[in-house]
Amino acid sequence: MPLAHRLYDSALVLAPSGRLDHDNCEAFREELAPFLERSAKERLAIVLDLAGLEYVSSAGLRCFMLAAKQAKAQNSRIVIAAMQPVVSEIFQIARFNLVFDAFPKVRDALAALSPAAAAAFDRG
């Protein structure tokens, strides 16, 4: 799974895409790992932009949970944004809204994290 990333001030926006299931969740975890390390080192928040994510299985949810646990352990923030309806419903059923703060749009997430990040986003 390709993991596009962009930095807005102190916020790292990561955009997984496609389907996240049993077959590729380990690869996704490996892709995610360096960004989590970087977020701890550079005091960056992470926004998972899920606009390109079409489906997530329970194994995929586990990846999100592990990321959340690591973020919590290293005292950094990780939020999600721009979920498609299918993914949103899966998150809703699994009550992962209790695990992640979720925002309708990436900009909303950035605004909630830091005004500087939102400003950087607005500048493009």
Partner 1 sequence: MVVAIDEAALERYGQWPWPRTRVAELIGRIGAARPAAIGVDLLFPEPDRFSPSAVAEEVQGLSADVARRLRALPSNDAALAAAIRGQPVVLGVAGLEARDPRFSRQPAAPPLLLRRAQDLRLRHFPGHLQSLPQIDQAAAGRGLLSVDPESSVIRRALAVAQLGDVVLPALSLEMLRVAIGAPLSISGRGSDAIEVGIGDVAIPAHADGRFWIRYGPHDPARFVSAAQVLSGGVPAAQFEQKLVLVGVTGLGLLDYQTTALGDRVPGVEIHAQILEQIFEGEFLRRPAGLRTLELALLATATLMLAFTVPTLGVGASLGLYALAMALLAGLGLEGFLAEGLLIDVAWPAIGATMVFGVVLAGALSEADAQRRALREQAARVAGELESARRIQMGLLPSPRALFAGEPRFGIDALLEPARTVGGDFYDCFMVGPDRLFFVVADVSGKGLPASLFMALSKTLLKSAARRVDDIGALMARANAEVSSENPESLFITAFAGLLDVRTGKLQFCNAGHEPPFARAPEGALERLVHEGGPPLCVLEGFEYPLAEHTLAPGEWVCVVTDGVTEAMNAAGELYGAGRLQAVLRSLPAEVEPNAMLAAVRADVARFVGEAEPSDDLTLLCLRWRGAASER
Residues near partner 1 (CB under 8 A) are 22, 57-59, 61-62, 65-66, 69, 93-96, 98-99
Q: How many CA atoms lie within 13 A of 78 on its CB side?
A: 28
Question: From the CB of 100, what's the least distance to partner 1, in Å?
Answer: 10
44/63 with CB nearer partner 1: 63
Question: From the CB of 67, what's the least distance to partner 1, in Å?
Answer: 11
Q: Given the structure tokens 């995610």, which residue do they identify?
A: 32
69/105 with CB nearer partner 1: 69
Question: From the CB of 26, what's the least distance to partner 1, in Å?
Answer: 11
Question: From the CB of 61, what's the least distance to partner 1, in Å?
Answer: 6
Antiparallel, parallel or unpaired: β 11-16 and 3-8 = antiparallel
11/83 with CB nearer partner 1: 83
98/123 with CB nearer partner 1: 98
Q: Which tokens belong to 48?
A: 């998972």
Q: Which tokens belong to 39?
A: 């977020």
